[in-house]
Amino acid sequence: MATYTLLLTHSPFNDCRHLLAQRFIEALPAEHSIRQVFLYNEAVMVANACQQPAQGQVNMLDQWLSLADKHSFTVSACIANSLRRGLVDAQERERYELPAVTIDERISLVGLGEIAEAYINGDRVLQF
């Protein structure tokens, strides 16, 4: 049984990497599991609670959270990349005295130590 962490680094709006990662999760045999999906660089844009996809397009945030519920894994976003793009949770909003929370509350802001831990403690880290 293998435990996987997925590292996503690209915007959900520019190519199909997020869809490929989601298909990987759906195709994973039952004896394997996903530990975490880590959003890094432009991939943190998935966590934007204020986005509204164009009519007929997939809401990537909803898709990731639905998969996370179904397969019992966490979705985390790099805090530095998120802050740089204006994506903040309640704690960071207060800390920096910003006007609004812009990240979905079901996604946690974490440091790079989380991905380092996945490399150390997990079986595989796959980058999409």
How much is the pLDDT for 116?
93
Per-residue pLDDT tens over the stretch 75-94 = 999 999 999 999 999 999 99
Cite the active site residues.
78
The confidence score (pLDDT) of residue 118 equals 87
CATH code, domain with 7? 3.40.1260.10
What tokens were used for 48? 């934007």
Per residue in 55-66, pLDDT (tens digit) is: 988 899 999 999
> Could you tell me the strand order of the sheet in which 108-110 lies?
108-110, 74-78, 33-39, 3-8, 124-127
Q: Domains in the chain: how many in total?
A: 1
* pLDDT (0 to 100) of residue 112: 94
Range of the domain at 108: 3-127
The pLDDT tens digits of the residues spanning 7-50 come to: 999 999 988 999 999 999 999 999 999 999 999 999 999 999 99
Specify whether the CB–CB gap between 37 and 73 falls below 8 A. yes
